[in-house]
Each structure stands twice: as C-alpha cells, then as structure tokens.
Structure 1
C-alpha cells in the first residue's frame, strides 16, 4: 500500500497539510503514486498484461528504425524520383534526428497527462499514416512533412520504452532492454536489406518505403486494450483518493545527465550518418545497389547479438570502462578501413562497425541503470535522447555537405573519428555507477 504523504503541522492552527517528498537524495526510491500503482498492476499482470506489454514493446521496437534505414537504402532512387538536390537529401537524412530531438522532449509532459499506452497508440498511428502519405506524393516538401509525421511517432516511442522497462520489468531490466533492442536492430536490418528488392519487385521506390506502414499499424493493436485498461484504472484511483505528486527529476541540472546526452548524441551522430550514407559509400566503391544495401543491412544484422548481449554485460559490470574503450576501438578501426580500403575489406569493416554500434544498446541500458525510479528514467531518457539528437542531427547533414564539397569520403570519415573521440570522453563519465536522482540540484 502506498504510504500517505508527509503531514506537517501548521503553527497557527494546528491543522495538517500535505506536501510531496522532494528530497530525492534522501529518499532513493520513492513509492509509486496510487495511479501509477493501479496502472502497473492492471497493465502489467504476469498472466496477461505482462506478456501483452512485452509483445507491444517488441512490436514498437521493430518499427523504430525501419522508416529510416529503408530510406537510406533507397536514397538514390528517392532523389531521382522527387528531384532532390544534395542539400535536400542531406535534410531528409537529418530529419530523423531533428524530429527525435524536438518531439522527444515533449514525452515526459505527455506521460504526466496521459497513460503511456494511450500515448503509444497515437504515436504508432502517426507512424503508420505518415509512411503511407509520404509515398503517394510527388512533392518534395510534402514528402518531408509526412516523413516528419511518421518520425514524430518514433520520437515519442524512443523515450517511452526505457520507462516501460523500468515500470513493468524492474528486476529484468537488462534482459528486457536486450530483447527490445534486438527487436529494434532486427527491424532495422530487415528494412535495410529488403527495401531495394521490394522496390524492384514492384517497380517503384514507393513500395520499398510504404510497405513498413503495415508493421506500424500492427504495433498499434496491443496498446489499444492496455490504453483502455489504464484509463479505467486512472479514473478509479483518482476518484478514490488524492494522489501525491512525485518529485520532479531534472537531468539538465546534473553532470550525469549531460554526459549521458553527449554520449547518446555522439553515438547517434555516427549511427544516423551510417544509416544515411554507408550504402552510398559502398556504391561509390563499385558495389551494385543491391549489394550496397545488403552491406548496410549487415551492420544491423551483426548488431542483433550485440544488442542482446550488451545490456547483460552492462548490468553485470561494476564499471563500464572496458565496454566504452572496446566499442571505441572497433569503430575507429572500421572507419579507417572504410577510408583506406572500402572495397577490399568491406566485410571486415562491416563486422567491426556492427560491434562499434553496440554503443547504442549500451546507452539505452545505462539510462535504466542510472535512475532509481520510473520518473527518473523517463526524465533521463527524454533529456539524454532529445539533447543527444540535437547533437546527432549534425551527422548526416555534415557528412552530406563534406561529401558533396570534396567528392570523396576521407573528410566525412575524419569528422566521424572526431565524434568518436567525444563519445569516448563522455562514456568515461557515465561509466561509474550512480543515480541521476542523487545528483539533482536543489
């Protein structure tokens, strides 16, 4: 049973008033509010709700990159079909990070007002509708606008998944994070590998992009009953008793929050640059479009076991330093190989790059490990991801600008090596175990 809020006697009248506990440092794990407890119990029962939540999370995760990597594999065809300039193509490949940064920051505000299941229903619907609308237009501007609608749904889901892990599976954080990260990686891989063959089979790049709307629509289904159940639980709990407001966690006022944001931003910068431009790099090296798409898919395919293993390793190690340094070494060697011998050692560079991209599941796991509560997790997730995506937005854009200005890949890869150095520095800061609630500025 949730304990009542602290009662404080009024000096003048002797009456009592209530206030929520605000000192997170002295209260490491505040009890959930009655609303949160009711929603968790009803939406997360082991017999039905727990499995439904897990299935819903995995379906959402499958969608989180498919709309992005399918476009990366077909970027040349889309540029030709819509008449996109190099700068406009750079904007299109940067759009995911812009959307994730701007709209992801709104997610904690949404969660304070609506149940996460209801938010996810709207998010996945926006993703499905946006993907349909962007493939039926001949206007570059409409294509960008409808892509932004689709990406808005992904932006919100990005923030919610770490919170849902903390809320529904607090004792299996590493396992569940690994499962949904593996699903995310699988969706990324399948989209990158099949976008070109699907487009060729139907004779249009529009089919290669639009087919993923069906997967997004499927992801809506588990969250509809969960949303209805959570809404009923919230009404019942709110009508029964006044709810104490949880303490606000503000990662922007902590060193840990900023280190998490920089690490997330630096690794996402390279990740989105790779998704947007790696296939083009291999095309320039002499590979056929289908082969270039498969090599891009290889990065994510080899990343599937890494995504499953990384959260388990991160949860068991006292310090993350060995993982931070190891991931940096893999990425650095891969970048140098892509710059010096992209064709001769393509398979090796893809394998090393896949290992280096293990920084993504690492930071997702660390978000849950560096917060004590669901409130702290969603606040840290929103800050790290939204701020990180502002940083990451520079990746595809600057790679595109440098590629167009120099006509080669030496300068773009040099830029990615600098970003890798920044990532490593931030990684050393987040390697030591501590909690964002403990660093909150009073």
Structure 2
C-alpha cells in the first residue's frame, strides 16, 4: 500500500466521522426551539407576530442561504465551506442566548444559514467520497438528522426546567463546535490528495439547471414534502389540543412522530438506492400521508393512530427526496448544484406552509380547512414525486435529463468521472 493510498483511506475515514458530526447538527438548533416558545414569549416579551416569525424564519433561512453553498464550495473548497457553516451554527446558537429580541432573531438567521449550507453540501460529499455507498451513507445522514432533531425536541423542556431557556438553547453549541473542529483538518488533508475536490469537477459547457425539468421536479417534490413536515411539526400540538388532548400529550405526539422517522431515515435511502425506479416509494408515501391527514379530519379521536401514520409518511418523504438529489445527479458537482437549487426553492416553499396554515386557522376558527388544504397539496406532491422518481439523471452540460444506466450492483451505477473509493 502506497503512502498516497494510506492517506486517501485516512481522509475517507476522517470524512466519515466528519459527516456523522455534521449531520447531528443539521436539525437540533431548529427543533429545540418550538417546545420553548412559551418561555421565550414570556422571557423576551414576544408578540404573537414575532412568535410566528420565529417559527417560520429557520425554514426560510434554509431556502434563502442554500443557494450560497455551491459557489462558496467552488471558491473556497467543500471542506472549508462546511467548516464555515458549522462555525455559523455555533455562533448563531450562542447569539440566541443573549437576552434581547434582536439577538434571538439574528442568531436564528446565522444558525439557519449554517444549517442550509450543511444540508446542501452533505450529498455532494457523500457522492464524491463514498459513491458506492450512496444509499447507506445518505440513510445514515437522514437517521442522524431525525435522531438529533427528536432528541433536541425531547430535551428542550427538561433542560429548560433545569436551567432556563438559555441553557436549553446553548447546549447545542457544544456538538456544533466539536464538528467544526473535526472538519477544520479536512480542509488541509483533502488539499494533499491527488483527487480534486468536487468544486473543481467538470461543470463547464452547458445548461443551467433552471432549464432542466427533472431538476424542477426534484425541487418541487422536496419543497412539498418539507412543507408537510414543518406544518405538522409547528401545528400538530395545537391541532391535538383542540381535540381535547392535554398539552403535555400533544407535545409528546410531535416527538413520537419525529422518532418514528429515525429508522426510516436509514431504511428509505438504502431501499431507494437499490431500486432502478423509485416511483413505488413515492406512491407508498402518498397513500400513507392521505390516510394520516384524512384520519385527523374524519376520526380525530384516534389521534395516536394518525400521529403514527403521519410519522411513517413524513419520516419517509424527506429522506426519499434527499436521496433523489444524488440519484438524479451525474457527478458530485451536479449533486451540489442540484442540492442548492432543490433546497433553495424547496425550503422557501416549505417556509410558507406553517404561516399559511396558521393564518387559515385564524380565519376559519378550526383545523379541518387547513388539513383539507394539506390534502389538496398532496396532489402536486405526488405528480412531481413520480416525475422525479423516474430512472434518469441530470448532466451539468445537458439541457435535458438523460437515461440512467444501472449496473448489476445493487447500488446505483457510478459515472465515469466519479472516482471509486480507496480500498
């Protein structure tokens, strides 16, 4: 084994642990806030409008700042961009504990910007360093995101009871700082390898992804799937409280819904990567979501049943959409661009959801109309999901998607310009 091979293997191992630490920090700073809204409202004298903005702002940040990730990765390197993203998350979390309202909102924007860049660059790193383990590594990332998000939501109230809302928010600066320290050496390690980073991969010569229908299908499917999740995460406790459930029970239902998604975050990407055509998965997710939302309207007294069903649906939809970013990309650079486009448009669309549902609830005085709206939005989600799940992929140089060639391996085929992992 040559020294270059040994160094490449060390870089891959270090990148794997870096991915673990990165993905642990891509949900907790968001999901740990919702259970504390009452205490934040009282402690900082927030108005109802400010509380609504606080619930919508993180999702909008995920969309607005996602577009910055690909150009920053091309300019400074993917590993440097990820390190900077983790520094932003840490700074944002710490800024939020300053007991003034502007700091809370500014810190939320900084943390949201860092999370947005981490979301975009994760599939590009997986596709470059681990192209033959795409399903497994994407599944691991989804599982860790869901697990850390559920853990942050579950620990928020106990930490608040122990040391107040500042402790409950500040504790998540520790893992984000550790992750930044872990990624910093990778900025130098990758510079020494013979493999060139994805931001220098071949991207010239062609069409904008905005002209590629398949890129739009993935974007809209991800956006609508994310909208469903964030609406339920924001409003499910209020929906269940309106049905007579105790506040503690209603809050627990959100945690259960998120916990159900943890194993699905691992299983769904692995299953999707082994399938030539992912349309059966889209249909399965759609049927499950229809059952859950319809059940809340028709038989809300069976709340725990529908929460379980919705956990299966939301826990499968986003991992499937996230996996399609890599499955429909011909190269790591395209994966980064696709991820930036899909998450910019998708999260901006998703960010409108909680606010629109809240306004609709206020206007109608109930939850059946907002839930019916979500059912109606499932129609375009299914259509775009089926179009995105067809076996094809996007080239940076092509104006249209090209047919996907699948090898005999259970994993998706690897294009010629994607290097195989070191052995």
TM-score range, shorter chain: 0.7 to 0.9
Which residue among 77, 87, 107 is the counterpart of 1:146? 107
- Aligned twin of 2:271: 313
Q: Do the aligned residues in 2 keep the contact of 1:87 with 1:401 (CA within 8 Å)?
A: no
Which residue among 356, 370, 373 is the counterpart of 2:328? 370
Larger deviation, residues 333-342 vs 180-189: 333-342
Q: Based on CA coordinates, which of the two structures has the bigger radius of gyration? A: 1
Q: Distance in 2 between matches of 1:299 and 1:338?
A: 14
Deviation at 1:164?
0.5
Does 1:355 pair with 2:321?
Answer: no
Q: Do the aligned residues in 1 keep the contact of 2:227 with 2:353 (CA within 8 Å)?
A: yes
Does 1:81 pair with 2:43?
Answer: yes
Deviation at 1:380?
0.8
Deviation at 1:43?
11
What does 1:190-205 correspond to in 2, within 5 Å? 190-202=151-163, 204-205=164-165
Q: Do the aligned residues in 2 keep the contact of 1:43 with 1:230 (CA within 8 Å)?
A: no
Query: TM-score normalized by structure 2?
Result: 0.87
Q: Do the aligned residues in 2 keep the contact of 1:101 with 1:155 (CA within 8 Å)?
A: yes
Query: Residue 105 of structure 1 aligns to a residue in which SS?
Result: helix
Deviation at 1:207?
2.4
What do residues 113-156 of structure 1 show as CA deviations (whole Å, max 9, x unaligned)? 112111111111111111111122232x3311211011110010
Which residue among 397, 401, 405 is the counterpart of 2:359? 401
Q: Do the aligned residues in 2 keep the contact of 1:42 with 1:230 (CA within 8 Å)?
A: no
Deviation at 1:363?
0.9
Q: Do the aligned residues in 1 keep the contact of 2:207 with 2:397 (CA within 8 Å)?
A: no
- Aligned twin of 1:214: 174
Q: Distance in 1 between matches of 2:295 and 2:286?
A: 14
- Alpha carbons of structure 1 residues 316 and 166: separation in structure 2 relative to 1, 3 Å: same
- Aligned twin of 1:330: 288
Deviation at 1:42?
8.5
Q: Distance in 1 between matches of 2:90 and 2:305?
A: 36
Query: TM-score normalized by structure 1?
Result: 0.83
Count residues with an aligned counterpart: 393
Deviation at 1:382?
0.7
Larger deviation, residues 154-163 vs 406-415: 406-415
Structure 2: give runs of 5+ residues left out of the alignment.
401-423
Which residue among 112, 121, 129 is the counterpart of 2:91? 129
- Aligned twin of 1:26: none
Q: Do the aligned residues in 2 keep the contact of 1:121 with 1:224 (CA within 8 Å)?
A: yes
- Aligned twin of 2:56: 94
What do residues 207-249 of structure 1 show as CA deviations (whole Å, max 9, x unaligned)? 2222212121122122011112234559x989xxxx8853266
4+ residue segments displaced more than 6 Å = 41-44
Q: Distance in 1 between matches of 2:6 and 2:136?
A: 20
Deviation at 1:109?
0.5
Q: Do the aligned residues in 1 keep the contact of 2:63 with 2:346 (CA within 8 Å)?
A: yes
- Aligned twin of 1:20: none
Does 1:45 pair with 2:8?
Answer: yes
Q: Do the aligned residues in 2 keep the contact of 1:337 with 1:349 (CA within 8 Å)?
A: yes
Q: Distance in 1 between matches of 2:299 and 2:180?
A: 44
- Aligned twin of 1:163: 124
Q: Distance in 1 between matches of 2:330 and 2:196?
A: 24
Structure 1: give runs of 5+ residues left out of the alignment.
1-40
